[in-house]
Amino acid sequence: MIWIFDSGLWWLSVRKELAKLMPDQNFFYIADSAYCPYWRRSPEELQERCRKLTDFLIGQWNCDIIVVACNTATAAAIEVLRSEYSIPFVWMEPAIKPALLHSKTWTVGVLATYWTFKWALYHRTLTEFQWNVKVIEQIWDGLVELVEQNKTESEEAKELLTKYLTPMIESNIDHIVLWCTHYPFLIPMIEKILEEKKVWDKIIVINPAPAVALQTQRVLKALEQHNKQKKENIFYSTWDEKILKNFVENIINEFPEQHKHTTNTKNFKFNHLNI
């Protein structure tokens, strides 16, 4: 059984990739919307919050592995979690390595939240692989909130994205690293902007979620964990489970295993988590 938690509703970017590789697995989710956005919290506060979420998860029946589907939580708390708990964790790795290795213009852009850029592993990756590649870092203030409100196609989202992307495009980047699990849902708008600026065929957008799914699959295989239970989808929200339920119902077609198991949410369970 795989448990996933994120700072809000948009762990789906990671969950979609997990389900492609492991459609028969049971997935349980926590949307910690009560504390969203995480990047506004201090590292100490995030560490304590992640402890509370982890304590809840390991208290549940048959929790095999926890996926920390949030870059900010990973940056602030993963070392603490790994040192204090014996259960396996999978976390968000800095997705900048492939951009640095394959850049032909020697310039790449990284889009992330404030604390993510402070993460030591990010800086170690830069030290090891940056060489002469110029890295343009941009904090995408305001976009997490828009994604949480399902406004990824709004004029407000387009305006903010254009503001953040334009300096990168003018600097001749050839890769954009989306280092936040909320950001992949902005890819259609990003591609629209790149097309309008006539650079859509010159810039590669990197989504870190597929690599996280592959690592989760590797860990489960190493543990020799195989789902033998009834297929389940259980969702928790620390805010309003009705919002979570509406969200899942609106994106039900995004679940790649639905053709195999169910075509509606009648077998889905939605719960409020008061922690």
Q: Is-catalytic flag, 180? A: yes
Cis-peptide into 256, omega within 30 deg: no
- What pLDDT does residue 38 have? 87
- For strands 134-139 and 233-237, give the pairing: unpaired
pLDDT of residue 263 exceeding 50, the answer is no
Where are the CATH 3.40.50.1860 domain residues in the chain? 2-93+210-272, 96-207
Distance CA 236, CA 78 (A): 21
- What pLDDT does residue 158 have? 96
User: Which fold does the domain 96-207 belong to in CATH?
Assistant: Rossmann fold (3.40.50)
Over residues 140-197, the pLDDT tens digits come to 788 888 887 888 899 999 999 999 999 999 999 999 999 888 888 899 999 999 999 9
Over residues 209-262, the pLDDT tens digits come to 888 899 999 998 888 766 556 677 788 989 888 877 877 777 665 554 444 444
Distance CA 62, CA 68 (A): 17
Q: Is-catalytic flag, 36? A: no
Distance CA 92, CA 76 (A): 12
- Chain-wide mean pLDDT for the chain? 86
Distance CA 123, CA 137 (A): 12
Phi, psi of 135 (to 5 degrees): -115, 120
User: Which fold does the domain 2-93+210-272 belong to in CATH?
Assistant: Rossmann fold (3.40.50)
Sheet of 89-91, strand order: 89-91, 65-68, 2-6, 27-31, 233-237, 269-272
State the burial class of residue 274 (Cβ atoms within 10 Å of its Cβ: 0-12, 13-18, 19+): exposed
Per-residue pLDDT band at 138 (split at 50, 70, 90): very high
Neighbours of 142 (CB within 10 A): 14
CB 258 within 8 A of CB 252: yes
Cα–Cα separations (whole angstroms), residue 141 to 34, 52, 187, 275 = 19, 26, 17, 27
In the set 36, 50, 63, 180, the catalytic residue is 180
- What pLDDT does residue 238 have? 92
Distance CA 203, CA 104 (A): 10
- What pLDDT does residue 257 have? 47
Among residues 14, 74, 35, 72, which one has the least CA distance to residue 238? 35
Over residues 102-123, the pLDDT tens digits come to 999 999 999 988 878 888 888 9
- What pLDDT does residue 266 have? 64
Spatial CB neighbours of 221, under 8 Å, sequence gap ≥ 6? none
In the set 36, 50, 63, 70, the catalytic residue is 70
